[in-house]
Amino acid sequence: MNSYAREVESPVARREAIVSLVSEIRIGSQAELAQHLRRRGFHATQATISRDLRDLGIGKRPIEGKTCYTLPGPATEVLETRRQRRDLEAFVLKARVVGNQVLVMTPSGRAQGVARSIDLMAWSEVAGTIAGDDTVLVIAPNRTQAKRFVGKLEEMTGRSLA
C-alpha cells in the first residue's frame, strides 16, 4: 500500500473529507456520500459513515426541495470542536473548584493545549484561562458556574474529576 493510500484510510482524513464533501456538494444519502468518498480514495462501510456523520454532528435538512446533509456550523469549526473534545477527554486528569476558580490538572506539557480547548469551547461558565505546564486555572464568573464547568468536564470525560 502506498503512503497516499495509508493516509486516505485514516479516520481523521476520512472525516475531513466528509466535512469537505458535505460543505461543497448537496448529498442526499449515505450511499451517495460513500460514492463520493470512494472517488477520493476512501472505502468506508455504511456503519462507519453513519458513525462519522453522527460524531461530526452532521444531519439532514431540506434545501431547495431536496433533503441533504448539512454541517452544524462552518467546516473548520466542526472539525476543531471534535479535536477540542478529544484533548479534554484525553488530558484532563483532575479538576478542583476553589471559589470562583477551577484548577484543572493535566499531564506535564499539556496544560496550554487544554486551556486552548477550553477557550475554544466558548462555554458561558468560563471567563478565561491561564495555563502553566501541567495546570490550567479556569476563572468563572462565580462559584456556581465554576461547579457547573466541572460538571461539563466530567460529562465530557465520562469520569469523576475530583
- Tell me the C-alpha distance between 62 and 66, whole Å: 5
Joined together, the cell numbers standing for residue 96 give 478542583
**What's the pTM?**
0.54
Cβ atoms of 62 and 46 closer than 8 Å: no
Mean pLDDT of 139-148: 96
**CB under 8 Å to 105, separation ≥6 — which residues?**
92, 93, 94, 95, 96, 134, 135
Give 92-140 pLDDT, tens digit per residue: 999 999 999 999 999 999 999 899 888 877 788 999 999 999 999 999 9
**Which of 72, 106, 124 finishes a domain?**
72
Domain end position, chosen among 48, 72, 96: 72
58 and 128 both lie in a single domain: no
67 and 86 together in one domain: no
Residues paired with 60 in a beta bridge: 69
d(CA 131, CA 31): 45
What residue numbers bound the domain in which 88 lies?
79-157
In a domain, 162, yes or no: no
* Residue at a domain's end among 39, 72, 105: 72
- pLDDT band with cut points at 50, 70 and 90 for residue 3: very low
Q: Is position 126 within any domain?
A: yes
SS3 state of residue 27: coil
Number of domains in the chain: 2
Domain presence at residue 56: yes
Task: Check which CATH number belongs to the domain holding 107 and give it.
Answer: 3.30.1360.40
